[in-house]
Amino acid sequence: MDPGRGKRIAGSGWRGAAISLLAGLAVWEIAGRTLGFPFLPPFSTVLSAGLDLIRSPEVRRHLGISLISLAVGFGLAAGLGLPVGALMGRFRKVEYFFDLYLHAFLATPSLIYVPILFALFGVGRGTQAAVVFLYSFFVIVANTMVGVRAGDAALTEMARSFGAGERQVFFRVILPGALPLVMAGLRLGMARAMKGMINGEMFIALMGLGALIRTYGGRFDAVHVLGLLLLIVVVAVLGVGLVQALERRLARWAD
Amino acid sequence: MIEVRGCMKIFPGREGHPPTRALDGFDLTVRDEEFVCLLGPSGCGKTTVLRILAGLLPWEAGEVLIDGRPVTGPGPDRAMVFQHFSLLPWADVEENVAFGLEMRRVPAAERKRAARHWIEAVGLAGFEHHHPRQLSGGMQQRVGLARALAVDPRILLMDEPFGSVDSQTRRLLQEDLARVQQKERKAVVFVTHSMDEAVRMGDRVVLMGPRPGRVIESIEVPFPRPRLPEVRKENAFVELKEYLWGRLQAMQGDGTGLKTQDASG
């Protein structure tokens, strides 16, 4: 096992991504300057608009609102989803009870929840968090359930052979073994939570980044729309990246 | 101190398959400090015997006694070593070796002390904080062995422990186990497919027939202890190996097994 080999492979990945990004930005800049489409301003213009947006206190307020609904919605989805998924994975009866709802909600396109929730509960920040919650909850439950259910039979038998009781088997063998899938569920849940955040905000167009996009879009202000898009992409990548870093840290053994 | 008399084990059939009679009329006696090798064709029930002795499986008929008391479940007097190591991949060597003690609710300081002692005894000093994926197969099995020894059992139940490593590592592990056994003097029930291994390691080789498993023959291994690796060169060693192979071959060819077998083998 040559530790240097792993580093080299990871290194070339980063270089490749950086080169690809620079090339893409270069194409965007050139196309923006030469083609003259109103909806494709050059990258440099968009970047400077993006930086202006970040510096603006109004945008920061919207960003804060978005991030709070994201945190509350995702926090609830994880806080509730992890135990529900674990119980479903552990006890067949619990699984059979909730399975119908789980599959129904997973199959439904999540965008449908948005107008329904806003119609039912009004245009408040609570509703916004509820949208984020519904977007991410079921994915977290499903992955946690599968992770817990797929408990390694050989390891369970080994633990029993050393006199482990049921609780010890669950907390010391099954749960740690489920961690990679649980983390994958959280990562997917975070990505979906972001989508829920933006979709919900765009729908009601009152506050948050989604609302800002509709405002600028309504004015045909391509520069600021794209600047916001850049901002949202950065937030999304950071959010998912955070979960991924946690995933790598906790589930390193699963490679 | 292990006594099995007339043991029968039937696995229920699943989804349209008939039940499997894994063991029928299985007898075994293992004395204190005796190293018994269970040798037999694939599917003969060797691993089932081990799991019953470990207290992991119930059985349908017969008696399974340890020191005169029936087996009712896993106990601190027994520990198992597994063919595919069964180490916790997320824990390091020290945590893995201490795992059996942790399941028995031994306090942390004592667990750590015992783990360190046995890690050194199996030759893994310095690797306490490595994870299983960083270790070779042979090293992983040493962890498995240290884990079993750490709970200080009187009986070691070993399920083809060296079957998942290459033949060179296998020889090294056999020597290590022989050295440990010389010192610790456990009663050992050692399941193997290998005639060479059975004669090298065992005080006695118990030959099992094909399913349903029962004992065909029990053969004392005529070499004194301490037994050095050079014993493999002795004529008696080679002859015993060949005899066992002859018996096993006869079993593989004849699907009905050796029901009526006379002494000429």
Q: What is the pLDDT of residues A180-231, one digit of tens each?
A: 999 999 999 999 999 998 888 888 777 788 888 888 888 888 888 888 888 8
**What pLDDT does residue B212 have?**
87
Contact predicate A178/A83, CB 8 Å: no
**What pLDDT does residue A12 have?**
53
Judged by CB atoms closer than 8 Å, whether chains meet at A168 and B103 is answered as yes
DSSP state string for B206-263: EEEPSSSB-EEEEEE----SSPPGGGGGSHHHHHHHHHHHHHHHHHHH-TT--SS--T
Predicted confidence band of residue B258 (pLDDT cuts 50, 70, 90): low
The reply to whether A39 touches chain B by the CB within 8 Å rule is no
The reply to whether A153 touches chain B by the CB within 8 Å rule is no
**What pLDDT does residue A207 have?**
77
Q: Say which residue, B64 or B251, is predicted with more confidence.
A: B64
Task: Calculate mean pLDDT across residues B34-43.
Answer: 91
Amino acid at A243: V
**What pLDDT does residue A41 have?**
86
Rounded Cα–Cα distance for residues B130 and B123 (Å): 14
**What pLDDT does residue B254 have?**
55
**What pLDDT does residue B103 have?**
93
Judged by CB atoms closer than 8 Å, whether chains meet at A162 and B88 is answered as no
**What pLDDT does residue A157 have?**
94
Give Rg (Cα) of chain A.
22
Judged by CB atoms closer than 8 Å, whether chains meet at A158 and B80 is answered as yes
Disruptive mutation site among B51, B77, B88, B164 for chain A (greatest number of A CBs within 10 Å): B88
B132–chain A nearest CA distance, Å: 9
Domain ranges, ordered by start, for chain A:
39-254
A17–chain B nearest CA distance, Å: 29
A57-90 vs A222-250: helix crossing angle, rounded to 10: 40
Give me the residues paired with residue B187 across strands.
Answer: B155
**What pLDDT does residue B129 have?**
95
Chain B hits for A177, CB-CB cut-off 8 Å, are 90
Nearest CA in chain B to A169: B103
Topology of the domain comprising A39-254: MetI-like fold (1.10.3720)
Rounded Cα–Cα distance for residues B132 and A58 (Å): 53
Q: Inform me whether the pLDDT recorded for B157 exceeds 80.
A: yes
On average, the pLDDT of chain A sits at 86
Rounded Cα–Cα distance for residues A103 and A34 (Å): 50
A15–chain B nearest CA distance, Å: 28
The reply to whether A254 touches chain B by the CB within 8 Å rule is yes
**What pLDDT does residue A201 have?**
84
Q: Inform me whether the pLDDT recorded for B261 exceeds 60.
A: no
* Residue labelled with tokens 């197969």: B137
Give Rg (Cα) of chain B.
19
**What pLDDT does residue B211 have?**
85
B89–chain A nearest CA distance, Å: 6
Rounded Cα–Cα distance for residues A69 and A128 (Å): 6
A49–chain B nearest CA distance, Å: 47
Rounded Cα–Cα distance for residues B62 and A138 (Å): 51
**What pLDDT does residue A150 have?**
84
The reply to whether A146 touches chain B by the CB within 8 Å rule is no
- Whole-model pTM: value is 0.80
Q: Read off the tokens for A74.
A: 């995702």
Chain A hits for B76, CB-CB cut-off 8 Å, are 163
Contact predicate B53/B25, CB 8 Å: no
Q: What is the pLDDT of residues A77-96, one digit of tens each?
A: 999 999 999 999 988 889 99
Nearest CA in chain B to A175: B90
Q: Inform me whether the pLDDT recorded for A4 exceeds 50.
A: no
CA B2, B73, B177 angle in degrees (round to 5)? 55
Task: Calculate mean pLDDT across residues A24-28.
Answer: 88
Q: How many CB pairs under 8 A join A and B?
A: 52
Amino acid at A137: F
Beta carbons within 10 angstroms of residue B59's beta carbon: 20
Contact predicate A58/A193, CB 8 Å: no
Q: What is the pLDDT of residues B43-86, one digit of tens each?
A: 888 999 999 999 999 999 999 999 999 999 999 999 999 999 99
